């Protein structure tokens, strides 16, 4: 999967931490949130496997932009959150 800049995505609404020991780089506050891909940052060994010394496949890492107000209701429309997320946490929106 390669996501082009501008692609609309949704962060998977999933909570692997409820199923056993995990190491996750996807902040909980973004689970289920809708965002927009800014760019592909590169491919990196999956930290979810690296943390447990398992063989780690390289996964695409994206910079994804979110509307700050939709997530935290800061009451300042236009503010943004920019976060690095791995491809297996993103689905088309």
Partner 1 sequence: MSDLLETQSERLLEAVRGLLAQKGIASPSEISERIAITDRASPGQGARMVAKAWTDPAYRALMLADGAKAAEAIGIPMRGMPPLGVLENTPELHNLVVCTLCSCYPRAVLGYPPFWYKSAAYRARAVRDPRTMLAEEWQTVIPAEVKLRVVDSTADYRWMVLPLRPAGTDGWSEDRLAAIVREGDMIGVTIPTV
Question: Per CB under 8 A, does 6 bind partner 1?
Answer: no
Question: Per CB under 8 A, does 74 bind partner 1?
Answer: yes
Question: Per CB under 8 A, does 86 bind partner 1?
Answer: yes
Question: Per CB under 8 A, does 82 bind partner 1?
Answer: yes
Contacts made by residues 22-30, CB under 8 angstroms, sequence distance 24+ = 22/48, 23/47, 23/48, 23/50, 23/51, 23/52, 24/48, 25/84, 25/85, 25/86, 26/85, 26/86, 26/89, 27/83, 29/71, 29/72, 30/66, 30/71, 30/81, 30/83, 30/85
Question: Per CB under 8 A, does 76 bind partner 1?
Answer: yes
Q: Which of 5, 17, 70, 72 binds partner 1 (CB under 8 A)?
A: 72
Q: Which of 25, 31, 40, 88 binds partner 1 (CB under 8 A)?
A: 25
């Amino acid at each position: 999967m390669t996501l082009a800049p501008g692609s609309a995505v949704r962060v998977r609404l999933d909570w692997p931490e409820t199923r056993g020991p995990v190491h996750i780089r996807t902040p909980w506050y973004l689970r289920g949130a809708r965002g927009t891909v800014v760019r592909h940052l590169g491919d990196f060994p999956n930290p979810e496997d690296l943390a447990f010394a398992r063989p780690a496949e390289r996964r695409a890492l994206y910079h994804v932009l979110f509307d700050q107000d939709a997530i935290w209701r800061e009451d300042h429309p236009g503010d943004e959150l920019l976060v690095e997320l791995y491809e297996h946490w993103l689905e088309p929106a």
